[in-house]
Amino acid sequence: MKQISHDIVLGSSSPYRREQFAKLGLSFTASSPNINEERRNAETPKQLVKRLSLQKALEVQKSYPTSIIIGSDQVAYIKEEQQALSSVHILTKPLTIENAVNQLLACSGRKVRFVTGLCCIAPNAEPRILSENVDVTFRQLSRSEIERYIEIESPLDCAGSFKAEGLGIALFEKVESTDPHTLIGLPIIALNKILIELGVNALQNPNHLKLS
């Protein structure tokens, strides 16, 4: 396939997503979309992240109409038997130490599903939208372990109250995923496949940024 030259814009304010996308070595701009991220009534986690990913991409596209736009969103919930997905309690960014402690206590010894949405919009093409799941089984955690972890890493801006790319991995018993990047917030394998379909191949890009 012919290599196409397009500016790429990552519609995210997350430094974690920027670090992930940078692994492809493609030049890009980051732009933070300002949208209402409130969950709609009876909206499932999958529906929510796909809708927000699309809305983020469309919002950024207003400022970059000739670029390839990438939008992404992630939510998490504790998996429960006999529980309708439209009524699950979504784990949010804790923002406070107390909320982070309570979230991790609730996750202790349980399986938490992280649902990550991805949207890619290119000029003169239909939006490509998907979602991926990651299931994380947490160890049985004591309050002292949780409080110490939060003290060390301060994951107050992270959904689920941990940083999987850091010490948060010490909280886990098992991670089930088709792409280890998805848990951090961006399904890189799926995104790379979409970019190749759009004519942007990181391995054939003459302006590839050398990675240290």
Residues serving a catalytic function are: 73
Q: Is 119 exposed, middle or buried (0-12, 13-18, 19+ CB in 10 A)?
A: buried
List of residues 6+ apart from 5 with CB closer than 8 A: none
| Terminal CA-CA length for the chain | 28
Helices within the chain (DSSP H only): 15-22, 45-61, 97-107, 143-153, 188-197
Q: Is 50 exposed, middle or buried (0-12, 13-18, 19+ CB in 10 A)?
A: buried
Q: How far is residue 168's CA from residue 184's CA, in Å, rounded to a whole number?
A: 11
SS3 of 138, please? strand
Q: Which residues on neighbouring strands pair with residue 29, listed in sequence order?
A: 9
Q: How far is residue 68's CA from residue 4's CA, in Å, rounded to a whole number?
A: 11
Question: What phi and psi values does residue 112 have, to the nearest 5 degrees?
Answer: -115, 130
